[in-house]
Chains A and B, each alone.
Chain A
């Protein structure tokens, strides 16, 4: 689960980490007022106006409606013009940014609507660094990853100068130790108070990551200020879905406007659904088989419209819900149901399909492939239903048939 930058920074602040002062706003007047308040409180005439969306690359992103504007804007007007100039400029920026569509390398060409802005105090930066905490799957442990190349995408650093990435493994029995934190700080070229502050920051951050069950914390850039403080200038946090049950305070930070409506609806029915761009709707049991079903549709020349795993114990209601979600997508020109009945019996699935089609209706071709427990009974139910359903012999046969029918 993802959250916004301003929410991540509030969590960091609660954990005892240093972040710039900032205020989240949703309208231009409040944006201007927030800027004035920050200038008054911090004494720094510079403020930053940052788009809050669940995607990275905001600084280099551009608004479709205002191509001259990036997603993050530094306002320097206050240096000469005083607080009124800052206020006016921030309000003007906010009126253009709010409600507009920001396109970044991570949003796709359709972009994301900006509904929230974070107005933040300016910081006098001496050094920009990179810091993250994430799971290393090959060792089954969390690691700290750090680099002197702050502000650059870490993928680029890994590609071009992998020697500039420092890694430190966190033993879950002991946590990140002082000597490890000090080693990272030294590796980042820090000395004196900055090195000590960075080591404390690191230890505090890794503890917060474990306490909050994050699956990724990324601070890019982490900055050292001209007076030696260490601060998170940006902050990205995402949370591990399996652990959300023990973090109601994190679940409360969910922003539904950032999530796909169909995916959210599917989740309510216990279905795992991801929308894609193709025309063949898929309904499958099991995540691996669902992914392989998408693959085989592509292999025979089609494009999948979705990933959909109905799980191992789907009932009639869930199958009907799955049908509704698939058919609600106007791009869908055909549906492929691919079931390997194990514990879930094929006749149960067949009854669910028949009932769902009667309830929801069906305007596009439907190909059903059933295999496994009670397969003959399942096929019989489908055949006797007088529905316009094509049976498939195996997965490939089904994929070929649905791609042909959907043309």
Chain B
């Protein structure tokens, strides 16, 4: 078991530029079931992907792969033709929010947006558009979601992951890799690793992921990686206190960050003392989360939390 994505996930890619093509190739090499792409001006064509299989991914495959990926005019056409149940967005920033909304309109149950640099105002509108629709957005500005040896959607290096029992949720890309790497080395492995992204307006938050992991029978513990700004970690701490029945470890980046350098003057007020790393660590520790003092200690903290 796992959360969000597994071997039955059928993935469409939105945005087949240089980045989108590169990571689609990596995903196919890993064994992700990529079923199509959306690109209006290339509708009806296919894009070829071939190369050496990444054997750290889905097991029991041949050593090479060769795939002709069909390209569709619109999301709705692509879903009708392929039965896709997830999409990954690599569309450039000015158009990415629109791509998310198009996927939402088509009823895509899972939309994972990798794109970095989307205007906040666009995301405010996109999130409003998603509000009454039964779809889930992960990201934007995130590495994606991976269930080891089943499905890799996004830009993370597949080979550092190994199937196991820890759910990973993080606001930071490279810190996710650090955590995953340590969990692999410690033998705990991962059920699913979710990058929720570093933007102020995102789809899925810590609480959403904690709920998913709490309900997943194969997940035995969760590691969450947060950073300064906003109150998502504090909200997670409240939820953990009230609902979580699995051990949680964590790390918060930014204890040394100078105050006011990034957070807007009046932005600090909404959080009312709740935006600093110290406040987040205090809230999480009060909820029983084992906080790693440094990123090198994330695996150890998880082992400690597991008892």
Contacts and interface: CB of A to CB of B under 8 A. Distances in A.
Interface of A: 56, 106, 132, 134-138, 140-143, 145, 154-155, 158, 162, 165, 171-173, 210, 213, 215-216, 218, 236, 238, 240, 242-243, 245-246, 274, 276, 284-289, 291-292, 294-299, 304, 307, 312, 340-343, 371-373, 394-397, 399
29 contacts: A135-B200, A137-B232, A138-B232, A140-B128, A140-B201, A142-B124, A154-B269, A165-B269, A171-B128, A215-B264, A218-B265, A236-B265, A238-B264, A245-B93, A245-B94, A274-B261, A284-B174, A286-B174, A289-B172, A292-B295, A298-B256, A299-B255, A312-B155, A340-B177, A341-B157, A342-B143, A342-B160, A372-B177, A396-B297
B119 interface: yes
B120 A135 contact: yes
Contact of A295 (B93, B170, B254, B269): B254
A396 B256 contact: no
B256 A340 contact: no
Contacts of A307: 257
A184 B108 CA distance: 39
Nearest to B122: A243
B173 A286 contact: yes
Q: Which of A136, A154, A295, A296 has the most CB of B within 10 A?
A: A295
Nearest to B295: A292
Interface stretch (B64-72, B79-87, B223-231, B241-249): B223-231
B178 interface: yes
Given A243-B119, A289-B172, A343-B155, A216 B266 contact: yes
Contact of A292 (B198, B251, B269): B251
Given A288-B171, A296-B294, A395-B294, A242 B267 contact: no
B230 A137 contact: yes
B269 A145 contact: yes
Contact of A246 (B94, B257, B277, B293): B94
A271 to B, nearest CB: 14
A289 B295 contact: yes
A285 B173 CA distance: 10
Contacts of B260: 106
A106 B268 CA distance: 14
B175 A216 contact: no
B266 A286 contact: no
Chain A interface, DSSP helix/strand/loop, else mixed: mixed
Given A137-B230, A289-B178, 19 more contacts: A135-B200, A135-B267, A137-B200, A137-B270, A140-B127, A145-B266, A213-B119, A215-B120, A218-B266, A242-B117, A245-B94, A292-B172, A292-B251, A292-B253, A340-B178, A342-B143, A342-B160, A343-B157, A396-B294
B306 interface: no
Nearest to A298: B256
Interface string B128-170: 1000000000000001000000000001110110000000001
Contacts of B235: 138
B88 to A, nearest CB: 15
Interface string B264-307: 11111111100001000000000000000111110000000000
B296 A296 contact: yes
A367 to B, nearest CB: 14
A342 B294 contact: no
A257 to B, nearest CB: 19
B266 A154 contact: yes
Nearest to B292: A292
B123 interface: yes
A41 B143 CA distance: 58
Contacts of A243: 119-122
Contacts of A343: 155, 157
Given A56-B265, A292-B295, A342-B155, A172 B120 contact: no
B264 A216 contact: yes
Contacts of A210: 121
Contacts of B76: none
B118 A242 contact: yes
B292 to A, nearest CB: 10
A240 B201 CA distance: 13
Contacts of B121: 210, 213, 240, 243
